[in-house]
Structure 1
Amino acid sequence: MIYLLLSILFNAVLFIIIKLFAKFNIDALQALVVNYFVAFGVGLFFLDTSFSPQIIISQEWFKGSILLGFIFISTFYVTTITSQRNGLSVASVASKMSVIIPIILGVFLYDETLGSVKILGIIIALIAVYFTSKKETGEIQQACNLVFPILVFIGAGTIDSSLKYLQTFHVPSNQIGLFSSVTFFCAFSVGILILVFLSLKGKIKFAGRNILGGIALGLPNFFSLYYLVKMLEAKAFESATLFTIHNIAIVLVSTFVGILFFKERISMRNALGIGLALFALFLVTY
């Protein structure tokens, strides 16, 4: 349970820092790339085992880290496009609704069971995520723009599912820190390629404040992934229960942080979502 709480805590810190990006006019993509390098460095600092490139490449999870690194940065980039074209609420809902992907895979890959009460809880949770996350106007204005929320949905779901699969079959307990660090380095490498491409096209300008934003984001980002994997390793709950609790709790904490620290207004729709979320939490842990 402690790993679940720590993962939620660090995700809430991430929300606060990302929220401050707009206030200080920080380019999110540049900051994210820097953040991945910082997270990689933080992981190396906390490692208590020796390693070498040859050891890393020989690990069963190495190819998975490369794939995850690509999905991390790609999903963020598509989320940015979705926020710009369809609204932040659409991007947020698409990301959190993706919890259904690891839940379904959990039934087929890990022989997990879904009782009627838990299924009802998951359905209510999805409804709660929609109502709680939708704080602004954000609609699919054109059919062609539907592809971006779908990609966010698939990308976020793939990240959770891949982490669960790698933790279950390939990542030993004593290598979680190394796995997290290597994954962030892979994401950084892909991000550098994206920045070089955009720079050559003249679509991006570099600024020192973006580096500072990335440094601030790197530390909590590493631990959000580290404790997420530790949470999966603990196996305190089945995937359906665990990911539902995790995603709903992040939505709730982010909502309350927005209200307390950023003076965001809460509508009747948001209040209904919070109530449904609490009820869903009771059902899935019943």
Structure 2
Amino acid sequence: MIYILLSISCSVTVAVLLKLAKRYNIHVLQAVMWNYLAAIILSYIFFRPELAQLVSVPTTLAIAIGVLLPVLFLILGASVRNIGIVKSDIAQRLSLFIPILASLYLFGENFGGLKVAGLVVGFVAIVFTLSRKSSVKAETSSLVYPILVFIGFGLIDVMFKKLALDKSIPYTSTLMVIFCISFIIAALTLGYVVIVRKKKVELINFFCGMVLGSFNFGNILFYMKAHRAMASNPSTVFAAMNMGVIILGSIIGIILFKEKVSKLNYIGIAMALVAILLITLSQKYAV
């Protein structure tokens, strides 16, 4: 579980940094592009992948993840602008349905009573924790954004799991290739923004992106390690990661950003803790 805890910590730190970006007028797209450069540099420093390994990565899967990572960022941003952060966050968290179904039907995991109970409590916790009023009124045509968020985040969880199961080459080599692809996609997108929309590239965004990339690198790395360590129980990783981000994110939101939290939200946070406990116990007791 240590890898899950480390991944949760890095994931919430990334969310906090992105939230602070608006306060300090950081251009998020520029920061995201440099974030992938930081991930590439860290991958090389810590793993020293050989060229032969880099050219032997599972091409289709690496390209799919590499393209989807920055594209999902753009989709999430569009969703927040069109329907608000609350509904977008709900769509992202409820995407847990997709990897859980994949655990059952694609990865052949057996679900005991404790795990089923934990997942049910967990899904209710997601709804309760994210149950907040949104001031953004969405048009019917805008509903495509949360749908894409739901599908996109669900699929990328499943693809990372498949990548973790591939023992043909070190997954660290594949991660470096993925980060390179994501950097290229983000750079092309930023190039369009700079040339067409006349947005200036600023040094502050580079420094912020490097810090962001360090935590994003840790988030993905520890997430992959968790899947490797708990290869026969992917649903545990999916659910514990999701619930943990909700709990820690909510605590930091309350303390650091003074976010208003309702009684229903507090019940949801408590239920998320119960869900993690049940799912953890299911690892020890096959009930």
2:65 corresponds in structure 1 to: 68
1:56 corresponds in structure 2 to: 54
Q: Secondary structure at the match of 2:151?
A: helix
- Superposed, 1:146-185 pairs within 5 Å as 146-170=143-167, 172=169, 175-185=170-180
Shift of 1:203: 6.3
Structure-2 separation of matches of 1:191 and 1:31 = 10
Instruction: After superposing the two structures, state which structure 1 stretch, 104-113 or 133-142, moved more.
Output: 133-142
Structure-1 separation of matches of 2:45 and 2:29 = 25
* Number of residues of Structure 1 aligned to a counterpart in Structure 2: 281
Q: Answer whether contact 1:180 1:222 (CA < 8 A) is retained.
A: no
Instruction: After superposing the two structures, state which structure 1 stretch, 189-198 or 117-126, moved more.
Output: 117-126
Instruction: After superposing the two structures, state which structure 1 stretch, 256-265 or 108-117, moved more.
Output: 108-117
Which deviations, in whole Å up to 9, do the C-alpha atoms of 1:208-244 show, x marking residues without a partner? 2222221110111111111100100001761222211
Q: Answer whether contact 1:131 1:269 (CA < 8 A) is retained.
A: yes
Shift of 1:50: 4.6
- Superposed, 1:222-261 pairs within 5 Å as 222-235=217-230, 238-261=233-256
| Amino acid aligned to 2:230 | K
Matched, 1:23 2:23: yes
Shift of 1:285: 2.8
Shift of 1:70: 0.6
- Superposed, 1:43-192 pairs within 5 Å as 43-47=43-47, 49-52=48-51, 54-59=52-57, 61-137=58-134, 141-170=138-167, 172=169, 175-192=170-187
Shift of 1:179: 2.1
Q: Secondary structure at the match of 1:285?
A: helix
Normalised to the residue count of structure 2, the TM-score between the two structures is 0.91
2:8 corresponds in structure 1 to: 8
Return 5+ residue gaps in structure 2 as ranges: 282-287
Return 5+ residue gaps in structure 1 as ranges: none
Shift of 1:76: 0.8
Change (3 A) 1:237 1:141: same
Change (3 A) 1:22 1:210: same
Normalised to the residue count of structure 1, the TM-score between the two structures is 0.91
Which deviations, in whole Å up to 9, do the C-alpha atoms of 1:114-168 show, x marking residues without a partner? 2344333223212212322345516662211111001011111111100101211
Which deviations, in whole Å up to 9, do the C-alpha atoms of 1:57-109 show, x marking residues without a partner? 223x2332221011101111100011111111111111111111111111112
| Amino acid aligned to 1:45 | I
Change (3 A) 1:171 1:97: farther
Q: Answer whether contact 1:176 1:226 (CA < 8 A) is retained.
A: no
Shift of 1:14: 1.2
| Amino acid aligned to 1:64 | L
Q: Secondary structure at the match of 1:121?
A: helix
